[in-house]
Structure 1
Amino acid sequence: MTIQHRHETTDDIAAIEAVTIAAFADAPHTSHTEQFIVCALRAANELTLSIVAEEHWQVVGHVALSPVMITDDQGRKADGWYGLGPISVLPQRQGQGIGSRLVEQALTELRTMRAAGCVLLGDPAYYTRFGFQAHAGLQLPGVPPGYFMALPLHGTVPEGIAHYSDAFNAAA
């Protein structure tokens, strides 16, 4: 299996949407709006990184990264934080390391960008292998604390409330 990772092009948009729909079709804990979120991030120019996993000229996976604002109780903002997700892999290709390599590529690029860190909402059993951990002082309202995790890339994890782009409210 020779998987190539690269940034999306306009020719990939339909394939990314199809992969995202397929990846979340039978997933628990989803509102099935992930493809709309990616599209809304792109339209708002908030899709900081959009990386595809490609094999034999077919997109088999995708990861999106976008800015996240973290505000403490005094209104101070932590700069340079990004949210990882949605991340999608074709169902028939899941469990083959494609998602892991997309996460690793995304984190490598964030380090190159000198990002402060990365947050995500996901299964701790999966994402802790990359160094993500829940932090009591960092919260995403309405989310069980153990499932909202952070990975500092430069410095420490700030305390406060994380705010994702309004694109994460996209429903169509």
Structure 2
Amino acid sequence: MNKIIIRSEQAKDIAEISEVIRLAFLNSEYSSHTEQFIVNSLRQNDVLTLSLVAEIDHILVGHIAISPVQLSTHELGWYGFGPVSILPKMQKQGIGSQLILSALEILKDLKAKGCVLLGDPNYYHRFGFKSYAELILKDVPAQYFQAISFNKNIPQAIVTYHSAFNATE
């Protein structure tokens, strides 16, 4: 496999990003199949803090979206990963790991306090994410809602994602 380039999205990438996201979740049984609409809505609402793409030979093969989340404590500086999308034929080649690690480093540079996500604990544990009883996403099994703190403090709070996560088209 040729070198993977991780970079910020450009306006010319938007349609291709949507297609990468759609294909990445096409056969996922735990998907609402609206992930591409969510990213577009985050972008339209100007709350897409980070939108990174993975590119190989000028072809987009992956994407990660990062947006702010609200905590019931009103503490600022927390963000949510999602979705993380890799073209099916390119999965399990380390592309997602590179996107995640790049996004975490950028969040640290932005002085973020922490990041949350909804996903497979067996996968995200390797990046330092884990479930915390004091950090809650309503109506989600606790083991799948995970966080990483950049300052070692985990707030006792209920987390809410932006309303863009309700987008269906």
State the TM-score, normalized to the length of structure 1: 0.96
Contact 1:114–1:154 (8 Å) recurs in 2: no
Question: Which of 112, 115, 118 matches 2:115?
Answer: 118
Aligned residue number for residue 131 of structure 2: 134
- Does the alignment pair 1:47 with 2:48? yes
Q: Which deviates the most, 42-51 or 24-33?
A: 24-33
Question: Which of 161, 165, 169 matches 2:162?
Answer: 165
Unaligned runs of 5+ in 1: none
Query: SS at the partner of 1:79?
Result: coil
Question: Which of 98, 106, 109 matches 2:95?
Answer: 98
Q: Deviations over 1:62-102 (max 9, x none)?
A: 0000000111xxxx312100000101000000000000110
Question: Where do 1:32-111 residues align within 5 Å?
Answer: 32-71=33-72, 76-111=73-108
Aligned residue number for residue 149 of structure 1: 146
C-alpha displacement of 1:112: 0.4
Q: Deviations over 1:79-136 (max 9, x none)?
A: 1000001010000000000001100000000000010000000000000000001000
Identical-residue share of aligned pairs (%): 49
Contact 1:70–1:77 (8 Å) recurs in 2: yes
C-alpha displacement of 1:155: 3.9
Query: SS at the partner of 2:107?
Result: helix
Whole-angstrom CA distance in 2 between matches of 1:131 and 1:157:
13
For 1:85, give the aligned amino acid: G
Question: What is the CA RMSD across the aligned residues, in angstroms?
Answer: 0.6
For 1:144, give the aligned amino acid: P
Contact 1:138–1:158 (8 Å) recurs in 2: yes
Whole-angstrom CA distance in 1 between matches of 2:162 and 2:24:
22
Unaligned runs of 5+ in 2: none
Q: Deviations over 1:44-70 (max 9, x none)?
A: 000000000011111000000000011
Q: How many residues align?
A: 168
For 2:104, give the aligned amino acid: L
For 2:89, give the aligned amino acid: Q
C-alpha displacement of 1:154: 2.1
Aligned residue number for residue 13 of structure 1: 14
Whole-angstrom CA distance in 2 between matches of 1:48 and 1:162:
17
Whole-angstrom CA distance in 1 between matches of 2:35 and 2:161:
14
Whole-angstrom CA distance in 2 between matches of 1:79 and 1:43:
21
